[in-house]
Structure 1
Amino acid sequence: MARLLRRLFVLFVLLSALFVTTVVLVYLLLVPKLPDANTLKDTELQTPLRLYTAEGLLMAEFGEQRRVPVEFEDIPQQIVNAFIAAEDDRFFQHPGVDYQGLLRAAINLASTGEKAQGGSTITMQVARNFFLSREKTYLRKINEILLSLEIERILSKEEILTLYLNKIFLGQRAYGIAAAAEVYYGKALSDLTLAESAMIAGLPKAPSTTNPITSPQRAKIRRDYVLRRMLDVGYINQQQFNEAMQEPVTARYHGRDLEAYAPYAAEIVRAQLIEQYGEEIYTGGFNVYTTIRADQQKAAMDAVQKGLIAYDRRHGYRGPLAKVNLAEVTDASGYEQALTEYPRVAGMQPALVLSTEDQQATIHIRRHGAATLPFSTMTWARPYLTANSMGPRPEKVQDVLNPGDVVMVAAVENEEAEHQWQLAQIPNAQAALVAVSPHDGAVTAIQGGFDFFHNNFNRATQSSRQPGSGFKPFIYSAALEHGYTAASIINDAPVVYDDPGLESTWRPENYSGRFFGPTRMREALIHSRNLVSIRVLRDIGINYAVDFSKRFGFQEHQLPRSLSLALGSGSASPLDMAVAYATIANGGYLIEPYYIHRIENSRGELIMQAQPATVCETCLQTPPDDYDLFTGLRPAQRVISAQNAYIINSMLEDVIRHGTGRSALSLNRRDLAGKTGTTNNVFDAWFNGHSPELAAVSWVGFDNPQTLGRLETGGRAALPMWIDFMEVALRGVPDRPMQQPVDMVTVRIDPDTGLLARPGSANAIYETFQSASVPQGFSSDSGSSRGSYEDSVPAIDLF
């Protein structure tokens, strides 16, 4: 017996030595090749790119992984208990490796001959998720054990658990518990019930097969197992267990709730970030704070959509989107199938007409069900014939709709008819609206079309259209610089030009087709007299006007060197026009539009701060990229004099008071200035305007240029959008007309001659001049003698 014991002892010693030697060799061979666990201290979890408005409201999120990292102290104890009970109930006792779990896994391997996923602690899962693959090999398991021991040496249990709960994949693109709470329940972690916490804690084992959205029955089985484990471990009592077990599965997919809707702006910012930072933006957790103001952005979208719908209805109903054979589609499921290819657009829903009566139609609305459509909501639907003509007004539903028609409908926007629907139609025309701060170029709102997800071409920045008469202020600004005044007299009379820049003889006309003879320049701009603008351009010189117009931000290729430039035959986007009008609004400074105010990383550290060129009256005029030493600002460049800007602004104020922009008087403000623009054949309709605080431009037209209709001028098609937008954008903004700069005087003049009015003159009016440009002579008594004022104005082919 003694000999046997000695042999057994020797065998034990040899085996122990072999075990120790093996462990040492494994340690020496593998540990140097292991990743550095210290890197976990500086872990940057992949988090999506998030864009915010200027007020800090979420307006977009980009990235494949949806994650909201949380600190340990912000994790409810109920969540911690659920995961510990489900995944590793000895987590706070073991050193990173649960030898009891490993022993169970070894016994299972010996008894079945199969490797099973077992014995993994939360620490081991952290090691695997951050450093290792998921392959089931002995070598990977050994590396996992060694790494786990090292992780436990470096990090506290709370730090390890925080990494795990933020990293773990929980299905539906949700990474981490906070993202899972949002995705499945639309809640914050602190608002989850016990059953919901258990549901999320049951997901790591098989996030696809036990998913409560795709496999609710399997998910409930797994949830109930987690609740049983919580009861067994002592985290909950029997009553809590019973109540949670009775709670139904309520999980459904919740997209990230956006607090502001600005897809056109979001796409511009995303593209800029990709260009500057590359694909890292989707995973680096950037928080980007833009210049977009939520209230202005919503107002811009509402104004564009309302304006386009109004334009579209003025031109009639183009008929159904499609026809469906109702004999082949007989129930709600079939109706839904017939409507699947027609998406929701700008709040409009596709619907199938099931039957018609004289005063109403029965319809099926996609994802809504049965509804009725009263005839009163379709009285506008005269048949579209051409841009200038429509068919007869409908007298009953059957004049508009037939069973089987696929149409668009929209909810009536008032509480009294909350459940009523009206016939709608997706406009064929498009529009854009953009607003810019004249002080520093911050783009505060941008709507590039009717609906971004229906057509994502951004007409506010990507289009290149003729600005029409909206370009005239820049010609007149050049004229002021060249020696003209607002009182200069120019003849509004027929003219014929053989312009080398044009293909044939050119006979320009005013929009009205009438001619008004000698006209003051102020009056010419107020009433948008084409022939006056052409004569002014011819006199100051095309090359001079082109070079001067570049001061407002226009590029050489946008400005044709022909007399048609006076009528806006160049090209510009709405953003180009907004920047140019901002130069007038701010007293003569060129600003640069920008969208990104600052960028922070996932830790809230500032990595970029915008430093825009800013209007600063007290700053020294330094080179564009230098900063004023006293203010710390990068001052915007002055491009026209304050006096020039003031006179042009006052003329544009009169466009609203007395001219083509009179509808804007409904805003009841004294500080608004602007100009309509309507191009040849009414292909484009514009309104360009500003207050001292905001420059905004609205545009309407077809993507493939065609006439909007002979009456759809800038004042009719574009100005209402601008008014609707500015009503919101300027709410609460003080009404402050532009202050008159120094070296200017206001005198009484004769409106017929532009010269000083004689004392007692009955028809005299006030006009403002730069001091050096005040008329030197007085008008004759009759007010009609050309000889008395001929020498005080430029020679411009008066007759």
Structure 2
Amino acid sequence: MASKRPTRANTNTEPPKKKKKKRKLSKKRLFWTLFFTAAFAIFCALAGYLFITVNGERLYNENKDKMIVAENSKVYDRNGKLMGQLSIQKSEPVDDDQIPKLLKEAFIATEDKRFMEHGGVDIWSIGRAAVKDIIARAKVEGGSTITQQLAKNIFLSREKTFFRKATEVSIAMALENNNTKDQIISMYLNRINFGGQIYGIKAASQYYFGQSDLSQLEVWQMATLAAMPKGPTKYNPLRNPENSKERRAIVLQLMQEQGYITAEERETAKNVVYDYTPPAKKQQYLAFMDYVMSEAEEVTGLSQDDLNVGGYKIYTTMDANAQQVIEKEFADDSNFEKSADDVQVQASMVIMNNDTGAIVALMGGRDYERKGYSRVTSSRRQPGSALKPIVSYAPALESGQYTKDSPLSNKKQCFSNYCPGNLHGYSDTISMPDAIQKSENIPAVWLLNEIGVNTGFKFAQKLGITLDKEDKNLSLALGGTSKGTNTLEMSQAFSAFANGGTFNEAYSIKQIKDSDDKVKYERKKDGVEVMSKDTSYQMTEMMKNVVESGTGKKAAISRPVAGKTGTTQSGIKGNKSNRDVWFVGYTPELTAAVWMGYDNPDKTHLLHKSSSLAATFWGKVMEQAVQGFEAKSFPKPETVKPPVEVPVVPDIVSVVTGLSGSYDPSTQIVSLNWNGVEGNNVQYHVYRKESSESDFRLIKDAAIASNIEDFDIVEGYTYEYYVTAFFADTNTESEKSNIVQVFTEPLVPDIEPEPDTEQPDINNGNGNNGSGNGNNGSGNNGTGNGNTGNGNNGNTGGGTIPGVPETNPGTGGETIPPDGTTVPPEQTVPPVGGDSGVTNPVDPGSVNTGTTENGASQGTTTP
């Protein structure tokens, strides 16, 4: 029997816990706590001071040769030849005794009034600055002494960190330990920047006052120079004379308060007006140098001051010959349309290497100055028809749904209330090469509508064109963008066509080495394939036609050229002048984009000439620029897509015969007659070629009778016609009839002719009253619009071709060269169905620039 386990009583026998009493902090414990805390703080302070001192001495000894601007950075061209130093203007250092005492005191009063008292670091100034910053909740005052500023300038790094500040203090203390105050202020004045590329007190005195002897400086001149370190650009007396004068007054007030000058001297110096103009110094490669500087700052993170005085070697992509050519032609006023006043027609041009994207030459404007306004990157303008290959034709080819042999719609039509127009009339279809060559609008818009606006939008972005969401509309096909583009983006984009479909981002720097010859930066970026080789090949073949016999004919040079013109109309109702003209083209070696126009276009500042002006300039520059590059051929893919198969037409016995044509000048109608053919359901196709066209095109596809009248006539043109019979039952077409030629000679009024006079090379001739189009336009005292268009008793609207009856048509036609060659007209026409201009989607009340070469209703009205 198991024994019972005794049960324990459920009672708590543990004694209750006692509460701990808080120990009071005795005086003795407090003393030792404070003692060890203070000792540790003193030890850290001594260690920190020792480190700063030792480190400062070490850094001072290593860098004391950099106390003055001793070595400029150098820039080399693509062949490694020195282009020049990074063009800082400096003089030899000035010794202590050559700098007037009052000049030193002007800087001390302004920059560091306790300079003669502190040991390199001014604790009181730092404390005062900290208090002001806390009160203002922002950095409003600096606490750096002149010695610290000198120390700061020794180092190339500009990062704002605690360690950098500690290093600055170290150097400042070492400077004070190893130099007198006079030596420190002299080193400071020999080293600091005085605006732009001016370094050192003597160089500044020479540049701003023409005075190399500092002892000859007057009080107001000393104060002007002492005002500049706080803001070398803001207080530059040349660029900002009012700011400079205001700051000068503050400096003079400080000098008086600190006892360096009298109140009378202050008032006299305060009221002097700065009127010195430095002698002009022409320097080569300024525009390219400035672009290089901007790119160098971006890729290295260094400031302009760092790069100027760091002893860097910058190896660029510039071709000296090409840059010299572009500078020479920009300086030639005859290359630009003459303005009605002193406001110049401006321009921009970029030339790139197709293989790499390397920029070989650029120019951001006429009369370009150092760090001036560069239209290469800063100015964005509407590209007009130059954008058609990028947003319509190339993406259509890339989609695989079209080839260059695909027929495109060319009917007069509207696209959801957007109604563009053509200059050369309309037809059921047009080939893609003809549409590009003539810069017709309907096919470009129709094609973008077919492939989808988003497709063209994304394709343009892949080619580096900057677009906004509001640009997703059909006016994009004709260059209608909210912000526009620039010559850098356009040359980048077109170089992809020249480079077999590979897009290279433009760049100007190959490599940067520091003063120790170590590589600081090197370009290592490959191109991106943005389209197939077949697409780029087809686009090149079609854009070659633009230069050979189209709107870009004046860009032809001794090497193969493909390209596209672009014109943006004024956007002013009734004004047929242009805001922007472009030509973007490429040889197998180089791509270049040219823009011309006014910076601020208005009614009196518009271009009267068309994109032929830009094409002419392009050809003049590129003929010379390509000489430095080995001639190549455009890349051709190993396998080219076969053309669209056209059904073989069987032999048909019935052929149209007896075609004849006549022109009635009183009605301006061409009448055609022919012998009909036998058969059921027979229709007739009528084909026409005008004197400016390279091939026939269909103008009537469903004639039933054996005669038609052609109303779409421009007087002075020669027209050729032929007719075929189309059998709808078998879907076959006969061979062409005989070809008949009709010259549309105008009706000559029975009046005494005026003597021939040479007329200005403009697109629009002006009469006294009324208007007339073409040769001898109707209406007495009329206005003639277009080349060789003139009203009776009016002014001739353009040049005529000596000895040749043919003339170019209507408004916007290109200038006819004196050699008698017929040049296809530039596509600018009066609006059809609306005013020229793209209604801004963001602000429907404002009108963007008209954006087509031959368009009407030049944009999309966005609700």
Give me the TM-score of the superposition, normalised by structure 2. Answer: 0.46
Which structure's residues are more often helix, by fraction?
1
TM-score for both structures, normalised by structure 1: 0.49
